């Protein structure tokens, strides 16, 4: 299944003034962003679809589901199709390593965002290595929990560091209650102690994200609510923080 949407207007993400130029489109070539973590349940698929939807406000975006077992992103796209919702990005499910290795050739897009398996099983390694051979930037979501640190380190040592890929750690599924704030502070302290590059933006946990998994919505078209607006601001902030990092990534 593939859903197409080409009605992008190239304007800055935080400005909606007709005629303004998009600073990120100047000299921009397709960038492949892989979202990785050995640990499941850290919000990878939520980050993939909502970051892609936010980027699609001002550029052409392809989302790829490279996780044929879990299929979270595919299930979401199927839910959107069933409900008649229009995804603001193109979507495809790709499991073949040779196709993953050639993603940068899909130059009709500005950004390709890839969801990946939450396991480093031997059967998945050829898929990972093919994908990372053409990846420009790696995003590593983690939950605010002490047991998130070791899977993060394993993912880095097995996949990211051997290829010297630029990356950032992203705190995801951040709860807003007192225990959640404590877990967040402890996790940030652990990540910083390891001197791992971390994004300032965090993705907070909202009920709207859970509902979206079932109805195929994305953060840019959630029904209006205060928390829905806050969720959108999280992803606008994430896109804004990542844009200059991607702009500085050279072609291989």
Q: Enumerate the domain spans of the chain.
A: 27-247
Residue 114 in tokens: 């890839």
The Cα 59–Cα 57 span in angstroms is 6
Residues 106-159 pLDDT 10s: 999 999 999 999 999 999 999 999 999 999 999 999 999 999 999 999 999 999
| pLDDT band at 221; cut points 50, 70, 90 | very high
Residues 1-44 pLDDT 10s: 333 322 222 223 333 222 333 444 455 689 999 999 999 889 99
Query: What kind of architecture, by CATH, is found in domain 27-247?
Result: 3-Layer(aba) Sandwich (3.40)
The Cα 167–Cα 196 span in angstroms is 9
pTM greater than 0.85: yes
Residues 47-84 pLDDT 10s: 999 999 999 999 999 999 999 887 899 999 999 999 99
Residues in a beta bridge with 217: none
Question: Which residue, among 198, 200, 218, has the nearest Cα to 208 in the 3D structure?
Answer: 218
The Cα 11–Cα 13 span in angstroms is 6
Question: Which residue, among 139, 150, 125, has the nearest Cα to 39 in the 3D structure?
Answer: 150
Mean pLDDT, to the nearest integer, of 83-108? 95
Q: Please give the DSSP secondary-structure letter assigned to residue 240.
A: H
Mean pLDDT, to the nearest integer, of 196-218? 95
Per-residue pLDDT at 28 = 64
């Amino acid at each position: 299944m593939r859903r197409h949407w080409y009605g992008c207007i190239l304007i800055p993400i935080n400005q909606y003034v007709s005629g303004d130029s998009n600073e990120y489109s100047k000299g921009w070539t397709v960038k492949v962003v892989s979202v990785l973590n050995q640990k499941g349940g850290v919000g990878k698929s939520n980050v993939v679809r909502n970051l892609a939807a936010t980027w699609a406000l001002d550029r052409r975006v392809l989302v790829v589901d490279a996780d044929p077992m879990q299929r979270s992103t595919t299930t979401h796209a199927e839910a959107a199709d069933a409900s008649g919702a229009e995804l603001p990005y193109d979507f495809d499910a790709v499991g073949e390593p040779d196709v993953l290795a050639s993603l940068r050739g899909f130059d009709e897009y500005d950004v390709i965002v890839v969801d990946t398996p939450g396991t480093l099983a031997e059967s998945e390694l050829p898929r990972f290595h093919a994908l990372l051979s053409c990846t420009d930037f790696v995003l590593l979501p983690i939950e605010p929990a002490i047991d998130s640190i070791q899977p993060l380190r394993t993912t880095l040592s097995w996949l990211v560091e051997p290829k010297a890929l630029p990356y950032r750690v992203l705190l995801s599924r951040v709860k807003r209650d007192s225990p959640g704030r404590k877990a967040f502070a402890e996790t940030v302290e652990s990540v910083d102690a390891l001197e791992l590059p971390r994004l300032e933006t965090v993705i907070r946990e909202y009920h709207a994200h859970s509902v979206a998994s079932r109805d195929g919505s994305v953060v840019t078209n959630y029904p209006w609510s205060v928390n829905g607006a806050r969720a959108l601001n999280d992803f606008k902030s994430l896109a804004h923080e990542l844009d200059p990092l991607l702009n500085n990534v050279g072609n291989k």
